[in-house]
Amino acid sequence: MAQSGKAKKLAKFDPTLLAVLSSRFESIIREMTNTVMKASRSSVIKNARDMSCGILTYDHRLVSVEEALPIHVNALELTTRPITELFDDVKEGDAFLNNSPFYGVTHHADLTLCVPVFFEGTPLFWTLSRSHHADIGAPEPSTYLPFAATIYQEGVHFPCVRIQENFKDKQDLIRIGLQKIRVSNIWYGDYRAQVGACRTGERRLKELVAQYGIDTVRDFIEAWMDYGERRAIAAIRKLPAGTYIYEVRHDPVAGVADEGIPIKAKVTVDPKKGLITVDVRDNPDCVPGGLNLTEACAVASCRIGVYYNLEASVPHNEGSSSRIVPLLRDGCVVGRPSHPIGTSCATSNVNERLANAVQCAFSEMGEPYGMAEGGGNFSAALGVVSGIDRRREASVEYITQLMLALSGGPANHGHDGWLTYECSVGNGIMVTDSIEVDEATYPILVEERRIRQDSMGFGQWNGAPAVEGAYRSLTGDMTLYVCGDGGTFPAKGVLGGLPGANGGTWRRGRNAEVERLPDFYNGAFTDGEAILYRSCAGGGYGRPDRRDPERVAEDVNRKWLSVATAREVYGVALTLCGNGIDYQVDTAGTERLRATN
């Protein structure tokens, strides 16, 4: 069959130049990301990296992302598209601010700045910066509001507004944030960091187009999209054809979802067409609280779960995402909510369960496909804390989200889960807090942080273990908000792998008595009281008795696993080494143990 004119043109694009220009776009996003991290003021952005940057074409096609949170960047076209639908006079020097779940944003805490990039009067791109702000002016000092049934309880919404014109802030809109948002100097500093990132990307893109010419850059965009599509098709053709279904369940939330929320993903793989369809329409209706997904989160999680099961080198751009087709339903808890339904927890909780359901559906193909479930999220290890810092001459209000311990990652064929996974829609991008930075910035003392022994999801390949610890206020007036998932239904293993340990939050009183708190909780902690947490562990992949005994010994020697559990669960006998500290495999004893199982 003769190639079309477009196909011939794309095939002629210099592959070396394709690699060079794709790297240039990535480097621009990297510089944008560094700008946000260096210039932001709140710890959840600058230390924990709850932020992302991206570049899209002016007609809303994702060009490239670099090191970014998957949930932030896998449906960016939904964020920029409303701008050109709402404004017919977009011009150079504009910037648009959007945190509305009904205008393509993930959830209301993810303030997103979009800047149109013009070259010689022609609009070519959008630069985009998305940051999770620690406060957005809700009635409660938190951006996670599981019991908020509508957006009227969520704080300030900027529904795709033009916040800059002629490269200058529109002060009337800035005043809204300064008046409404707690610790508004922090909010404004974080916003300005996003402006700096988008304007930096704008300058670099103009320099790029000036260097290579507008025609070459346009040809690159089409060739790059085509390359992403071809790579995705090739990866899909390596998968077994069929329809695979996997179900998960979010923990109960009193008054919102008393029995929990069941989530089902039906994944259909068509290798001949190079297409994967993710059908999530057969799920419950929206719930009366903030656990509902936004359309952006639902689309992104469907894509995320598929991408995890494709080759890592497949470019994440419009070309590859076009081979993943999410099927959503209006009014569905994992679909498209209608105004004014609450969605403040849309980037966590149910969203993480949905991505787990999609990624685990591939395990129904059998080995070596798929992966286990990743740990649930948001014990007090990730608690939103607020209060008054009275350690200095002038007392100051503070609010931040801590990232003291991230949930354990899932195992997949050939690989154990990793400790810094955080969740299925963050997947290692967020960073564990520096204890020293947290203690210097906020009036808290971190008493401990350690691995919970014997907590991993046991398997031939282990889910990552849980992390536990404790912290307390130095001023005795800390308020804590948690929206924990995984305390009731922990991360399950697949193909014979076992579930990981559940998570939780506890209060240690002045008398040292420990009380388990609800997984969805807000309350105050006073002098002498401490907050205890345990993150969730990841699920295992494959039967534990197939694990390499040497790997079992390594787990014991790093104190992640006890000698007794090594024997009972894995059928591995160990003996002390000559140094009297480390253990080694007793080969004969292991053979006897495994022969009796």
pLDDT at residue 434, as a whole number: 92
Tokens 């339904």, located at residue: 341
Rounded Cα distance between 255 and 265, Å, is 25
Q: How many CA atoms lie within 13 A of 453 on its CB side?
A: 10
Q: Residues 590, 498: one domain?
A: no
H/E element holding 592? helix 587-596
Chunked mean pLDDT (size 10), the chain, 597 residues: 55 92 97 97 92 98 92 97 98 98 97 98 98 95 96 96 98 97 96 98 98 98 97 98 98 96 98 98 98 98 97 95 98 97 97 98 98 93 94 91 95 96 91 93 96 98 98 93 96 98 97 96 94 97 98 98 98 96 97 90
Q: Is residue 319 part of a domain?
A: no
8 A C-beta contact, residue 159 and residue 169: no
Q: Is residue 213 part of a domain?
A: yes
Q: Is residue 519 part of a domain?
A: yes
Q: Residues 96, 149: one domain?
A: yes
H/E element holding 467? strand 467-473
Q: Is residue 294 part of a domain?
A: no
Q: Residues 578, 491: one domain?
A: no
pLDDT at residue 12, as a whole number: 83
pLDDT at residue 1, as a whole number: 44
Q: Residues 516, 558: one domain?
A: no
Domain holding 86, by residue range, is 5-228
Which residues are 456's β-sheet partners?
A: none
**Dihedral (CA of 541, 545, 551, 552) sign:** positive
Q: Residues 95, 197: one domain?
A: yes
Q: Is residue 349 part of a domain?
A: no
Pairing of strands 477-483, 574-576: unpaired
pLDDT at residue 16, as a whole number: 97
H/E element holding 587? helix 587-596
The total number of structural domains that make up the chain: 3
Q: Residues 376, 420: one domain?
A: yes
Q: Residues 36, 9: one domain?
A: yes
Q: Residues 395, 506: one domain?
A: yes
Query: What pLDDT digit, counting tens, does each position of 170-206 carry?
Result: 999 999 999 999 999 999 999 999 999 999 999 999 9
CB-based burial label for 514 (10 Å; 0-12, 13-18, 19+): exposed
Q: Residues 520, 570: one domain?
A: no
Q: Residues 576, 485: one domain?
A: no
H/E element holding 85? helix 77-86
pLDDT at residue 476, as a whole number: 85
Question: Cα-flanking dihedrals φ and ψ of residue 202, to 5°?
Answer: -60, -50
pLDDT at residue 560, as a whole number: 98
Q: Which of 228, 250, 267 is the last residue of a domain?
A: 228
8 A C-beta contact, residue 55 and residue 205: yes
Contacts 24+ apart (CB under 8 A), 154-158: 154/108, 154/290, 154/342, 154/344, 155/108, 155/180, 155/181, 156/99, 156/108, 156/180, 156/181, 157/99, 157/100, 157/108, 158/97, 158/98, 158/99, 158/100, 158/111
pLDDT at residue 10, as a whole number: 64
